[in-house]
Amino acid sequence: MQDFLQQTLSTEPPAQVSGRNDQLSWQWLDHGILELNPHQPCTQALVISAGIHGNETAPIEILNQLVGELLAGKRPLKARVLVILGNPEAIASGKRYRHCDLNRLFGGRWQQYDDHPEARRAWRLEQALETFWQVSCTEESRWHLDLHTAIRGSWHSRFGVMPLRETPWPDAFLHWLSAAGLEALVFHRSPGGTFTHYSSQHFNAASCTLELGKALPFGRNDLTLFSAARDALAALLSGEPLPPVGEPPQRYRVSQQITRFTEAFVLHMGAETLNFTAFPQGTLLAEDGDKRCYVQQAREYVLFPNPDVAKGQRAGLMLVEDNAHNETSGSS
């Protein structure tokens, strides 16, 4: 098969839809959906996705490079892997999405929308995960790494967003996130329509949305800035030692959500406001008709502020520090 990204964007299936080399066998399942299986038995089933938002290009380039090395037989494979380029139409057009935000449609939420391409794609990706994780007859460790970059700059240049999870996070998974260079982890306390929440809720996967830098067009990414994540991914795929781990990530939890309900919505943050900007208690964050949203805790940090979302969608998250855990980690 030719270059995975270029093949995906061609909208045509490859001339050969399956193959093998000395390290693995591969199968093209659909546009942007590729399954890789090592020849030897393994105990990990790994989903790596990128391009759920089409304008977040650096993770797409990194993932495409790693897939190229695997398909060429230049890198051993030690896990069953499902590789996903999430939204090929949006990737081809350089847009975040074409009709509606794909990363709000999972868990069946796609059924609430007209028959848009993103709705059909969310359904197809849900199918792909179900098939991939339920074919195994052995106990496997299930991980899902969804690679993104953020619209805005950030006080933490690399961070992870963790979906609601009822069971403890595996230590190996948290260690890998540290090795990938993440400076902060944000823990959700309620369900959502993201790809990682879907994999966590329905398949008990250890899942994380990795925000690895700033969203830029193809050709403008300095991939050296993403070297920690790339090296950690390469080590995970090939069963090699992880890069050295520095300070553990700072932990935050979601305290409240800012939602846009009407056309009258106003977000009281400028376009220059960075992710993890702190606001003191009582600060007016947003107005929507007669509704007001204020900082409720002594100090809260904003994440993903975006006044231009569709009605009913999240216009930002407010966070508080997980001080108990941060103090414990800092003293260990």
- 148 among the known binding-site residues? yes
CB 203 within 8 A of CB 129: yes
| H runs (alpha helix) in the chain | 4-9, 57-71, 88-93, 117-134, 171-179, 195-203, 227-238, 323-331
* Residue 183: half-sphere exposure toward Cβ, Cα within 13 Å: 10
Which one, of 289, 288, 319, lies nearest residue 302 by Cα? Answer: 319
Instruction: Give CA–CA dist 279/295, Å, rounded.
Output: 7
Residues in CB range of 221: below 8 A, 6 or more apart: 57, 58, 61
Tell me how far apart the terminal alpha carbons of the chain are, to the nearest angstrom. 48
CA atoms within 13 A on the CB side of 29: 19
Ligand-binding annotation for 56, yes or no, is yes
Catalytic residue among 89, 118, 183, 211: 211
Residue 144 counted as an annotated binding residue: no
State the DSSP code for 285.
Answer: E
d(Cα 151, Cα 176) in Å, to the nearest integer?
25
Q: For this structure, is 327 an active site residue?
A: no
Residues in binding site for Zn(2+): 53, 56, 148
Which residues are tagged catalytic? 211
Residues in binding site: 53, 56, 148
